[in-house]
Chains A and B, each alone.
Chain A
Amino acid sequence: KQEVTQIPAALSVPEGENLVLNCSFTDSAIYNLQWFRQDPGKGLTSLLLIQSSQREQTSGRLNASLDKSSGRSTLYIAASQPGDSATYLCAVISMLTFGGGTRVLVKP
């Protein structure tokens, strides 16, 4: 059974610092992995989807990497802003499994 873990559960950084969010999965036979952002009381907003054949995917200040052999994906957010404060979730879509999320606070 696939297990997805996100550590740390919470993270606080000063504005302008780069964010590094980790996602680990136990079964490397994944098809793809998707990163989401969730604001309080809201649904999930898709950020990036990375296919198993890709090593990384970029969108603006966001970059997601995938290393299937080590069972890890990392989401980098460059030059963080207070508006980046939210919970970030990763999901192994093909296995319908989400991590518990990392709650991020960017302090002005």
Chain B
Amino acid sequence: GAGVSQTPSNKVTEKGKYVELRCDPISGHTALYWYRQSLGQGPEFLIYFQGTGAADDSGLPNDRFFAVRPEGSVSTLKIQRTERGDSAVYLCASSLSPNSPLHFGNGTRLTVT
């Protein structure tokens, strides 16, 4: 596609439920990043993939958060046992290679009630 696509654009879930957020990067981009952004703050790094492997997952807040990129293209961020504090906009970005310019999707707004 022409840009990074994230689905759904909005997700409302109840506390304790499981959610999956999807990211379709720009075709040919080997690097993929997940960030989380709370209102009025800058994006907070979660995890970075180079190809199929997680090159850096140091930003994942705890073991309820997990992400995969099985074929080196689409990535899914998975959150188990959601908590109200997980409510935020989850942003995905891709780049042609590490240290190349980042291209962001429009994000998924997650609300945990």
A residues lining the B interface (CB < 8 Å): 4, 6, 31-32, 34, 36, 42-46, 49, 89, 91, 93-94, 96-101
Closest approach, in angstroms, between the C-beta of A1 and any C-beta of chain B?
A: 10
Q: Which of B35, B45, B101 has the most A CB atoms < 10 Å from its CB?
A: B101
Let me know if A43 and B42 touch, CB within 8 A. no
Inter-chain contact B99/A91, CB cutoff 8 Å: no
Chain A min CB distance to B100 (Å) = 8
Query: How many chain B residues touch the partner (CB < 8 A)?
Result: 24
Asked whether A89 and B43 contact (CB < 8 A) given A43-B107, A96-B48, A96-B59, the answer is: yes
> Which partner residue on chain B sits nearest A89 by CB separation?
B42
The answer to whether B56 touches A99, judged by C-beta atoms less than 8 angstroms apart, is no
* Nearest CB on A from B76, distance (A): 18
User: Contact between B105 and A43 (Cβ–Cβ < 8 Å)?
Assistant: yes
- Complex Cα distance, B108 from A42, in Å, reads 10
Q: Is B106 an interface residue (CB 8 A)?
A: yes
Contact: B41 with A94, CB < 8 Å?
no
Interface of B is mostly: loop
Q: Does B49 contact A (CB under 8 A)?
A: no
Task: Indicate if the CB atoms of A97 and B45 lie closer than 8 Å.
Answer: yes
Chain A residues, CB < 8 A from B44: 98
Contact between chains at B99 and A93 (CB < 8 Å): yes
Q: Which of A4, A34, A94 contacts B101 (CB 8 A)?
A: A34
Q: Given A89-B43, A96-B59, A101-B42, A46 and B102 touching (CB < 8 A)?
A: yes
Task: For A45, give the chain B residue with the smallest CB separation.
Answer: B104
Q: Tell me if A96 and B106 are in contact (CB < 8 A).
A: no
Q: What are 9 A-B residue pairs whose CB atoms fall within 8 Å in the complex?
A: A6-B42, A34-B101, A43-B105, A43-B106, A44-B102, A89-B43, A96-B45, A98-B42, A100-B41
Complex Cα distance, B48 from A44, in Å, reads 17
Residues from chain B with Cβ under 8 Å of A96 in the complex: 33, 45, 48, 56, 59
When chains A and B are docked, how far (Å) is the Cα of A51 from the Cα of B95? 15
Minimum C-beta distance from A87 to chain B (A)? 9
Contacts of B35 in A (CB 8 A): 98
